């Protein structure tokens, strides 16, 4: 059984991301993403703080009414610190945010790097699934600001940094996912 804090974080993620959908094919509710991140973290044996942060990792960045201070007030300073480390500055360009994210991985806490790795792993697996779905690769890649080539390049760089910081099991899964993406037709 999960802790009361994780249960509250799950409800919060569901409410905060209500009405949002994933970038992928179809109208998949956005909340499925932080839930997948939390499942990956739980499977690795992550602690309550990391799983909670996994559920909340996008709320400050993507949800109205959520701030660092609110996350800290409702979920504690450890969770807020991880969420803060993972939150992108949306005022910057896509390319700047992604390059900054790669650089930040080198200096972030192991807990934040682990949540980031689970986040990236789920995103890579979702992208692979979309490319395997039979949809035209051009339609799959069109939703990415960097297009296919730049997105693949920066995703590979991010994975390379993450595998140096996280549990080897998670690192192997990340490597396998990025390699599969590169090997797919249209990938």
Active-site amino acid positions? 61-62
Q: 3-class secondary structure for the chain?
A: CCCHHHHHHHHHHHHHCCCCECCCCCCCECCHHHHHHHHHHHHCCCCHHHHHHHHHCCHHHHCCCCCHHHHHHHHCHHHHHHHHHHCCCCCCCHHHHHHHHHHHHCCCCHHHHHHHHHHHHHHHHHHHHHHHCCCCHHHHHCCCCCHHHHHHHHHHHHHHHHHCCCCHHHHHHHHHHHHHHHHCCCC
């Amino acid at each position: 059984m999960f802790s009361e804090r994780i249960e509250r974080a799950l409800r919060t993620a569901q409410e905060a991301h209500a009405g949002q959908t994933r970038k992928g094919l179809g109208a998949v509710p956005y909340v499925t993403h932080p839930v997948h991140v939390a499942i990956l973290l739980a499977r690795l044996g992550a602690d309550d703080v990391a799983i909670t942060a996994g559920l909340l990792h996008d709320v400050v960045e993507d949800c109205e009414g959520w701030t660092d201070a609110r996350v800290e007030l409702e979920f504690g300073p450890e969770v807020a610190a991880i969420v803060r480390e993972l939150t992108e500055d949306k005022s910057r360009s896509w390319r700047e945010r992604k390059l900054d994210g790669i650089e930040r991985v080198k200096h972030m806490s192991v807990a934040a790097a682990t949540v980031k790795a689970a986040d990236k792993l789920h995103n890579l697996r979702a992208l692979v699934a979309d490319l395997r779905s039979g949809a035209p690769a051009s339609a799959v890649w069109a939703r990415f600001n960097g297009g296919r080539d730049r997105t693949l390049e920066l995703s590979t760089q991010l994975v390379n940094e993450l595998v140096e910081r996280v549990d080897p099991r998670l690192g192997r899964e990340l490597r396998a996912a990025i390699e599969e993406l590169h090997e797919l037709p249209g990938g």
